[in-house]
Amino acid sequence: MAVAEPVVLVPPTRFGRTRSRQHRLIAVPVIDRIALGGLALITLIAVLAPQLAPYDPTEAVGAPFLTPFSPGFPLGTDDVGRDLLSRILFGIQSSWVAAFIVIASGVLVGGIIGLVAGAFGGWVDTVLMRITDIFLALPGPVLAITVVAALGPSLFHTLIAVMVVWWPFYARIMRGEVRKLAARPHIEAARLAGAGRVRILWRHLLPGAVPAIVVTASLDVSALILTLASLSFLGLGSPAPAPELGAMSARGLTYLLEFWWVPIIPAIAVFVLALLSNLAGDAVRDLLGDR
C-alpha cells in the first residue's frame, strides 16, 4: 500500500512575497497604468515648470492674440501678448502644489483627530466629533469669500479658507476605520498580551487605517483642483497677472467667440488635471484594495 508523502508547510519567503507583489503590479489594468503614468508626468511638469517654460509667464513677449502653433508660441498668446504655454505650465504648478498642500494639511490634522477620537472613545470621541461637525457645517466657498474679503485676494488666503473646511472629512474617515479595527481579534490579542494604549494606537490601529486615508486623499485631488480653479475663476485667487488656470479662463471669457484659445486652453488644462488625478485615485484604490 502506497504511503502518502508528508505535507511540508514552507513559510513564505521574502522572495515569495516579492513575486506576489510583482504579480499584483502586473495585474494592474492598462487604464490604471496610464493614469498613474500621467499623474507622474504632471507632477514632473509641475516641479520643472520654471525650466520648461520658454518665457516669463507675467511678461508680454509677443503680439496679442497670436493663434496656437504660431512660430515660437505653440499655444498662442493672450490679450496682452503673454505666452500661453508658459502661463499654463506655471498654472499647473500652482494648482498641483496648492492641492497637495491642502490635502497634506487635511490628512495631518484630520488624521490625528480621527485617530485619537477612535482610539480613546468616550468623552474624548464625543468632544472631537462635535468640533468636527461644526467645521463640516461651514460652507467652503462662502468661507473662502469671507476670508478673501477680509484679508484681500490671494491664493494663500484662499488656501487657508479651504484648509479650514477640508480636514473634517479625513477625521471622520480615520475615526470610522479606527473604530472598525478596534473590534478586530488581533487588537484584543494585543491588549491581552500587555500592549499599552499608545503602542496599540501607533503599531496596530494607525497602519490599518492608512490605506483608506491614502485612497481618499488620492481621490480628493481632482475635487480640490476643481474647487481651487472655481474659486480662482470667481476672482478669489492671486490678482492679475498671476498665472492661475481658473482666473485665466475667467479673464478670457470676453474673447471666447473671437479668440477662443485664450479661455479654452486653461479650461482644458483644468479638465486634464482633474481627469488624470481622478483616474489615478481609482488606480490607487485598486492597488490598495487587498489591504
Within a domain: 79: no
Within a domain: 261: yes
Per the prediction, the chain carries an average pLDDT of 81
What letter does residue 205 receive in the DSSP assignment?
I
Whether residue 68 has pLDDT greater than 70: yes
Pure H helices in the chain: 14-26, 30-47, 49-52, 84-120, 122-136, 140-151, 155-182, 185-192, 197-200, 206-233, 245-252, 261-287
**Average pLDDT of the segment spanning 280-289:** 75
Within a domain: 109: yes
Q: CB burial class (10 A; 0-12, 13-18, 19+) of residue 5?
A: exposed
Domain count, the chain: 1
Q: What would you report as the CA-atom Rg of the chain, rounded to the nearest whole angstrom?
A: 25
Within a domain: 249: yes
Whether residue 18 has pLDDT greater than 70: no
CATH of the domain at 289: 1.10.3720.10
Positive or negative, the Cα torsion across 54, 60, 62, 67? positive
Whether residue 182 has pLDDT greater than 60: yes
**Residue 162 pLDDT:** 85
What lies within 8 Å, CB to CB, of 234 at 6+ separation is 145, 246, 250
Within a domain: 152: yes
Higher pLDDT, 205 or 271: 271
pLDDT band at 289 (very low <50, low <70, confident <90, very high): low
Peptide bond into 68 cis (omega under 30): no
β partners of residue 70: 73
Instruction: Give the tens place of pLDDT for each residue, 135-165.
Output: 888 777 777 778 777 877 788 888 888 888 8
pTM above 0.95, yes or no: no
Residue % of the chain over a pLDDT of 90: 19
Residue % of the chain over a pLDDT of 70: 88
Within a domain: 72: no
Within a domain: 161: yes
Return the minimum-mean-pLDDT range out of 20-34, 161-175, 197-211, 270-284: 20-34
Within a domain: 265: yes
pLDDT band at 90 (very low <50, low <70, confident <90, very high): very high
Instruction: Give the tens place of pLDDT for each residue, 214-270.
Output: 888 887 888 888 888 888 887 777 777 888 888 888 888 888 888 999 999 999 998
pLDDT band at 27 (very low <50, low <70, confident <90, very high): low
Residues spanned by the domain of 289: 99-291
